[in-house]
Amino acid sequence: MSLPASPANLRVNGDRLWQSLMDLAQIGATLKGGVCRLALTDLDRQARDLFISWAKDAGCSVSVDQIGNIFARRPGRNPDLPPIMTGSHIDTQPTGGKFDGCFGVMAGLEVLRSLNDLGIETEAPIEVVAWTNEEGSRFAPCMMGSGVFIGRLGLEETLAKTDEHGTTVGSALTAIGYAGDRPVPGHAVGAYFEAHIEQGPILEAEQKTVGVVIGALGQKWFDVTLTGVEAHAGPTPMERRNDALLGAAEVIQAVNATALAHLPYACGTVGFVTVAPNSRNVIPGQVKFSVDLRHLHAEILDQMVADVRAAVDAAAAKHGLQSEMVPTADFPPLAFAPHLVDAVRNGATALGAPHMDIVSGAGHDAIFLAEVAPAAMIFVPCENGISHNEIENAAPDDLAAGASVLLSAMVAQAGVASSTAA
Ligand SMILES: [Zn+2]
């Protein structure tokens, strides 16, 4: 037995990772170079079967839980330790790409293969998971498998969800042979990592290879209604109007301004507006619009809400309007586990990969897992920031770097029991 390899300097086989991604993308391949592999279809079954055959070839034992999540386990020296886990999803949108989700599962598989190549025995077991129905395209809600695994979603109610043809999740699972017997909510997890394409433009623009995901944005949504007085656009003098749309315009500016004032990690969007009566020669009597505010820190998010509330009050007072601001969604910000974020950052530094801290604006299985275990994510760039699109693309070297960072971060958490690496 030789000295253990330094966990920080480990590298995966990037060519093998790329080949596996391309092979997986053949299942449900579309003419435009994307993938259509909806959850719990026969194509999903084929992809699951392929993943399992690869995991078994890598020496793993495989189990399936009652919602169809697949766990490939590489034993550690101490079987009593909870596994260090990674994974993502292999279902896609109807016009999805080759990398969203698939990268996280194939990167995990590549970690298993690389540990074998390097002759590393870890202290804790390593598990690679493929979560059921992350996309939520055929069956709602999204992030279904991880939601049931952590106990956020009930098994029976989830199995009863139907697609547009009335097929239930339960019957679809049985039809493809993936109604497993491992109980949910699931087993203890020592740490959870998820590698994923960024699905946004920042890493590419900043010319970084690895995004160290420090957390996920909190979200607060509102429906705002401003009510003034409908009146004729000609005879009503400018100083005697109660124009609801004019008030709304000032609030919309304030939503934008508060986000700009609280960068980085702030977003403010008004994406839905209705104007009544919406007639060209009538002063608008009532406007309803949405407000979507996001920030990484709860106290700043609350400040952004207060800013918008003040703008609503000011617009109402200025234009003589009645106002209402009703909350419609509230997701708290999530900070990933600092020691795992550090492990990702250290892995990127040791690899010499240009990296930066980044936040997730989208939903991922890791956000659910963070409720039951320390969790963190690794982002890699995708071309022009585009995903959920058949043209979704990523560079082989970036994917390899992200998987190498995943390998070193996981080994650092699992601990090296022994190594035969040169
Ligand atoms: Zn995804």
What is the helix (H) or strand (E) element at residue 129, kind and residue range? strand 126-131
Q: Of all residues in the chain, what percent carry a pLDDT higher than 90?
A: 94
197 Cα–ligand 1 center, Å: 8
Which pLDDT score, from 0 to 100, does residue 3 have?
44
- Contact of 72 with 113, CB cutoff 8 Å: no
- Contact of 77 with 418, CB cutoff 8 Å: yes
Which pLDDT score, from 0 to 100, does residue 363 have?
84
Name which of 4, 190, 3 is nearest 79 in CA terms. Answer: 190
Which pLDDT score, from 0 to 100, does residue 8 have?
58
- Contact of 72 with 19, CB cutoff 8 Å: no
Which pLDDT score, from 0 to 100, does residue 2 have?
41
Cα angle 151-358-293, degrees, rounded to a multiple of 5? 70
317 Cα–ligand 1 center, Å: 45
Which pLDDT score, from 0 to 100, does residue 1 have?
40
Which pLDDT score, from 0 to 100, does residue 118 have?
96
Q: What is the mean pLDDT of each run of 10 residues along the chain (422 residues)?
A: 57 98 98 97 98 98 98 97 98 97 98 97 98 95 96 97 97 98 98 97 97 95 97 95 98 98 95 96 97 96 98 98 93 95 97 96 93 98 94 97 98 92 54
318 Cα–ligand 1 center, Å: 45
135 Cα–ligand 1 center, Å: 7
In this structure, how many other beta carbons lie within 10 angstroms of the beta carbon of residue 365?
31
Which pLDDT score, from 0 to 100, does residue 4 have?
47
Q: Which two tokens stand for residue 16?
A: 């093998």
Q: Which two tokens stand for residue 259?
A: 């986000």
Report the interhelical angle of 298-319 vs 244-261 (nearest 10°): 150
Phi, psi of 203 (to 5 degrees): -60, -45
* CA pair distance 47, 50, nearest whole angstrom: 5
260 Cα–ligand 1 center, Å: 28
pTM: 0.88
Which pLDDT score, from 0 to 100, does residue 9 have?
77
Which pLDDT score, from 0 to 100, does residue 421 have?
60
170 Cα–ligand 1 center, Å: 22
Which pLDDT score, from 0 to 100, does residue 238 have?
96
Name which of 122, 125, 119, 112 is nearest 51 in CA terms. Answer: 112
140 Cα–ligand 1 center, Å: 15
